[in-house]
Amino acid sequence: MENQSVSINMQQPYGRNGAGSPAIAFGPTATTFVRQEPVPNAQDFVLWSFFNAMFCNPCCLGFVALVYSIKARDKKIAQDPAGAVGFGRTAKQLNIAALCLGLIFFITIIVLAVLFRSQNPHGV
């Protein structure tokens, strides 16, 4: 019987060389971090609008102010600072108008009640 020399080409599994390191060497990895500019905190005046909608609501101004406040909060969450500032400014102006008209209305009612009470002291 003739002795034959058999040469088997053994490859390492998963592309690794004999030392156990990867067959392909990668260079150093550069990581960059971009810091975003801080978004200005636009005010939305939701609590003030809710108060005006419940207690000082002449001509539905408090309710309209509440709608604009919610729109300003939605724009702030959507990271649209320009839209949030615009809706917030409108909500603030509507809140001021609603509060002033509401106070004038309540003061007028109190003055009329006092005048009516002074003219009719017996409550008739």
- The model's pLDDT over 5-41, given as tens digits with 9 standing for 90+, comes to 555 555 545 555 555 555 565 667 777 878 777 656 8
Cα 71–Cα 66–Cα 105 angle in degrees, nearest 5: 155
pLDDT in tens, 53-68: 999 888 999 999 999 9
pLDDT at position 41 is 81
* Helices 81-119 & 61-77 angle (0-180, nearest 10): 160
- Residue 115: is its pLDDT beyond 60? yes
pLDDT in tens, 66-99: 999 999 999 999 999 999 999 999 999 999 999 9
Query: Which residue blocks in 31-119 are alpha helix, DSSP H?
Result: 46-55, 61-77, 81-119
Neighbour-count burial of 58, counting CB atoms closer than 10 A to its CB (0-12 exposed, 13-18 middle, 19+ buried) = middle
Strand partners, 37: none
Residue 94 burial (CB count, 10 A): 22
pLDDT at position 33 is 77
